[in-house]
């Protein structure tokens, strides 16, 4: 556990973000390996099918993951205030919520997936593979939620290192199982999905064993856990807006996917591969933002608001430097990166065009995430949700549709950075207004669960 309310601001944020950054790189690594194995050893159609499944999975889990983020921020406030009794209650409540949420969402996904393929206009020749991959992945949601719950709680307590160790195990295991199930056993797309679920299960199981044996505050067991309604509702106040924000993003991805689906399997495959590369480039900004949220939460809990402004400035600087590097890599080596996943020249060309357009605006994405990290850390999560709603559904989706009708698939690509730019302008304007400082969250947090 780490106290972020003391010490050099930039260094504290960087040290806290670094294990999360490495962990998420490993997490994306096994997503990348999944995509490489599918593209190189199964085929373009299978690659398109799994790419179509990802936004659906994201929709399914985004609300719950957002609520978990709210719990993490609540825990960071409680820990900053040194109220360990409420910290333990908040942890128990989070795990109980995640357990039942995973069961409900798995059932909903399995029941409604056929209707969703129709909704997004997925080509019929991809439906069988997409359904097979989705069903196996959905069956393992309890493992995904379990690991993410442990990670979010530990982040709230200032510990970003422990989740990294278990994630490294999961990443290495997933890669080994991918190769075993696809190349040796010949299980095809099902093998890739099974490898992911097994790896997540092992990671979660190891984290439960470790925490129960060695951690002072966290005990994961069906015995003795208590659900605290007051703390849950307080966490929901942050988590629901954050979860809705993730959900709006996920639904926006579904809308974009519907537009992409109209251009055929090569475009869907290119979008899938470029999205994997895109995700790697976005990891630093997202992790610096999460670190900043915990930093803001602890410092406001410790009544040190003066450190927040410097925290934002240092976070934007660090994430912007990394963003510029990724932009240069995408411009110079984009075709080679696409070629790691497929030998299809048409897919490579379409994906490289995507990378050239979207990567040019990574700096705005980083600045937007950092600013929203301050707002979420202060408990003012409603505003980032509204900003996401406006930038995505008022700008990105309509612009992508209109431009794709006029100039083809590149119109969809241009809609993405346009939304980032508008989102950054809106979030920074609200931050400068200072209204997030007076939302009364700290006072309500102190009263929750009393």
In a domain, 433, yes or no: yes
In a domain, 31, yes or no: yes
- Residues ≥6 apart with Cβ < 8 Å to 142: 99, 102, 103, 106
What pLDDT is stored for residue 425 in this prediction? 93
In a domain, 407, yes or no: yes
Range of the domain at 183: 9-447
pLDDT digits (tens, 9 = 90+) for 80-119: 777 778 888 888 888 889 899 999 999 999 999 999 999 8
- Residues ≥6 apart with Cβ < 8 Å to 268: 47, 48, 51, 52, 126, 257, 260, 261
Q: How many CB atoms lie within 10 A of CB 115?
A: 8
Q: Which of 327, 351, 336 is nearest to 410 (CA)?
A: 351
In a domain, 4, yes or no: no
- The angle that helices 141-156 and 124-139 make with each other, rounded to 10 degrees, is 60
In a domain, 219, yes or no: yes
In a domain, 3, yes or no: no
pLDDT digits (tens, 9 = 90+) for 154-163: 877 777 678 7
Q: What is the pLDDT along the chain (450 residues), one digit of tens a residue?
A: 566 777 788 888 898 888 878 877 877 777 788 888 998 889 888 888 888 888 888 888 888 887 887 788 788 778 877 777 888 888 888 888 989 999 999 999 999 999 999 988 888 989 999 999 999 999 999 998 888 888 888 877 777 678 778 888 888 898 899 999 999 999 999 999 999 999 989 988 888 888 778 776 667 777 778 888 888 888 888 788 777 777 887 888 888 888 998 898 899 999 989 988 888 888 888 889 888 988 888 887 778 877 888 899 999 999 999 999 999 999 999 999 999 888 899 999 999 999 999 999 999 999 999 998 888 888 777 788 788 888 888 888 999 999 999 999 999 999 999 999 999 999 999 888 888 776 545 445 445 444
What pLDDT is stored for residue 445 in this prediction? 47
What pLDDT is stored for residue 243 in this prediction? 79
SS3 344: coil
Give the pair of three-digit tokens for residue 359: 């990567």
CA distances for 417 relative to 160, 320, 414, angstroms: 30, 15, 6
DSSP notation for 402-425: HHHHHH-THHHHHHHHHHHHHHHH
Cα separation of 448 and 266, whole Å?
52
In a domain, 162, yes or no: yes
Spatial contact of 132 and 190, defined as CB atoms under 8 Å apart: yes
Cα separation of 74 and 448, whole Å?
10
- Report the number of distinct structural domains present in the chain: 1
In a domain, 153, yes or no: yes
Look-up: residue for tokens 């333990």? 88
């Amino acid at each position: 556990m780490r106290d972020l309310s003391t010490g050099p601001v930039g260094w504290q944020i960087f040290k806290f973000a670094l294990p999360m950054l490495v962990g998420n790189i490993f997490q994306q690594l096994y997503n990348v390996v999944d995509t490489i194995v599918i593209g190189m050893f199964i085929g373009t159609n299978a690659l398109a099918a799994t790419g179509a499944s990802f936004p659906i999975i994201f929709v399914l889990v985004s609300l719950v993951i957002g609520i978990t983020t709210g719990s993490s921020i609540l825990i960071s406030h409680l820990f900053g205030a040194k109220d360990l009794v409420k910290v333990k209650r908040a942890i128990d409540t989070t795990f109980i919520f995640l357990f039942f949420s995973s069961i409900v969402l798995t059932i909903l996904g399995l029941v409604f997936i056929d209707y969703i393929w129709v909704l997004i206009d997925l080509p019929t020749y991809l439906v069988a593979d997409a359904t097979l991959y989705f069903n196996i992945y959905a069956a393992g949601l309890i493992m995904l939620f379990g690991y993410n719950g442990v990670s979010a709680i530990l982040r709230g307590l200032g510990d970003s290192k422990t989740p990294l160790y278990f994630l490294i195990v999961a990443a290495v295991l997933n890669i080994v199982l991918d190769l075993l199930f696809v190349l040796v056993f010949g299980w095809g797309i099902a093998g890739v999905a099974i490898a992911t679920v097994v790896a997540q299960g092992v990671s979660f199981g190891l984290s439960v064993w470790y925490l129960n044996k060695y951690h002072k505050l966290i005990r994961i067991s069906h015995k003795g856990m208590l659900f605290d309604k007051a703390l849950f509702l307080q966490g929901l106040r942050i988590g629901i807006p954050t979860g809705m924000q993730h959900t709006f993003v996920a639904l926006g991805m579904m809308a974009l996917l519907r537009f992409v689906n109209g251009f055929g399997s090569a475009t869907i495959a290119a979008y899938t591969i470029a999205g994997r590369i895109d995700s790697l480039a976005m990891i630093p900004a997202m992790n610096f933002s999460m670190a900043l949220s915990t930093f803001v939460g602890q410092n406001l809990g410790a009544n040190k608001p003066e450190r927040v402004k410097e925290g934002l400035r240092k976070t934007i600087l660090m994430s912007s430097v990394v963003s510029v590097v990724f932009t240069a890599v995408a411009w110079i080596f984009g075709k080679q990166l696409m070629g790691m996943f497929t030998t299809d020249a048409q897919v490579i060309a379409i994906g490289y065009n995507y990378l050239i357009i979207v990567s040019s605006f990574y700096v705005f994405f980083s600045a937007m995430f950092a600013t929203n990290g301050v707002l979420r850390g202060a408990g003012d999560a409603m505003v980032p949700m509204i900003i996401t709603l406006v930038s995505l559904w008022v700008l990105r989706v309509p612009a992508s549709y209109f431009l794709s009708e006029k100039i083809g698939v590149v119109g969809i690509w241009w809609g993405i950075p346009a939304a980032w730019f508008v989102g950054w302008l809106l979030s920074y304007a609200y931050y400068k207004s200072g209204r997030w400082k007076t939302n009364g969250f700290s006072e309500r947090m102190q009263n929750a669960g009393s």
